[in-house]
Structure 1
């Protein structure tokens, strides 16, 4: 049943082009009564493999700012591993609530990017030139640790937060922010997954079902992204994390 549910979830993830870690957590905990710590561990570990193919594809297309990705990725690894170990100490109800809040915050940011792009550009002026030198690595490690901690502690990919950070603080273009974001999330989710594995929360059988179902479903879902009407695609991008976050928060 988990495999079949993740097959459908993978199709949704492939359609909207999002990692779906937070929605995976909501589905596992609400539909299958998987403990929240285990659900977070499975979602992060599965996201590692999802990001692997995406990051490689963008790298081949030269859509990745490698120095920026390395700087934030290094900080993200440290932050995610620390976050996973901190999460192990949190009571399940508190962790569930915080994961829901982070999902809702991510959905709000996605809504602003998709529907209020002009307002966002007036409030947050993207850096015009690419950040380089020592400041790149100092700022990259700090922001990477913050995003990595949020990802490792609460099981979200933090893609929306990372992309905004890349454009506003590091001067990465919109197109390259997507590929660079995947490069950053890849080691971040791997470090978070390892952190949960060492604390005994990663259920390998649930992980295999989740990863296999989402990989197959995402392959089919991605085929319909370019065929869907733009209003439907925009709605789905925002609605997916919103439903996951509100479900965790209210049910």
Structure 2
């Protein structure tokens, strides 16, 4: 039943092109009663594999800023390990609440980026050129550390936060921000997953079922993306984390 549910979820994620780490956590915790810490470990481990292939593809297309991604990713690697340690000292009920709130905040940021892009352009200054030199290493390390801690503690890749930071602080264009975000999430996911593994929270059977089902489902779902109206895709990109977060908050 878990495999079939994840297969369907993977197809949905692939179809709408949305990140599904948070929804995976919600399904595992609320739908199948998996302990929240184990669910976070599974979500992070799955993201490591799914984002790696995406990052490689974007890199080959020239849609990655390697140095920026490396600096932020290095900070994220350290932060995710710290976040995993913090998470394992948080009581399950509170952790579910915090994870749900993180999902809601991600949905809000996605809503602003998708539906209120003109408002964002008016109120938030986007850097016109790439940040380089010493400022890159200082701001990049700090940004990676913070996003890594959030991802490691709450099992979510922080993609919405990273994308906006890349455009606003680091001057990365939108198309390259998407690919660079994937590059950054890879070390964050691996490091966070290792952190949970060290605490004995990694459940290999659940992980394998989730990873295989999501990979297969998203592959076939992505092939149907062109059939959906753009408005439908935009709606579900925001709705998936919003609904997932609401369920986590109400039914934790």
Q: Same-fold call, TM > 0.5?
A: yes
Cα distance, 1:138 vs. partner?
1.0
Cα distance, 1:198 vs. partner?
0.7
What are the ranges of 5 or more consecutive residues in structure 2 without an aligned counterpart? none
- Are 1:42 and 2:42 matched, yes or no? yes
Matches within 5 A, 1:122-133: 122-133=122-133
Cα distance, 1:140 vs. partner?
0.3
Cα distance, 1:19 vs. partner?
2.8
Count residues with an aligned counterpart: 251
- Preserved CA contact (<8 Å) 2:81 2:195: yes
Residue in structure 1 matched with residue 242 of structure 2 by the alignment: 242
TM-score calculated relative to the size of structure 1: 0.99
Residue in structure 2 matched with residue 220 of structure 1 by the alignment: 220
What are the ranges of 5 or more consecutive residues in structure 1 without an aligned counterpart? none
- Are 1:81 and 2:66 matched, yes or no? no
Residue in structure 2 matched with residue 183 of structure 1 by the alignment: 183
Residue in structure 1 matched with residue 205 of structure 2 by the alignment: 205
Residue in structure 2 matched with residue 104 of structure 1 by the alignment: 104
Cα distance, 1:9 vs. partner?
0.8
Cα distance, 1:108 vs. partner?
0.6
Matches within 5 A, 1:36-185: 36-185=36-185
SS of corresponding position for 1:63: coil
TM-score calculated relative to the size of structure 2: 0.98
CA distance in 2, matches of 1:119, 1:19: 24
- Preserved CA contact (<8 Å) 2:83 2:149: yes
Cα distance, 1:210 vs. partner?
0.2
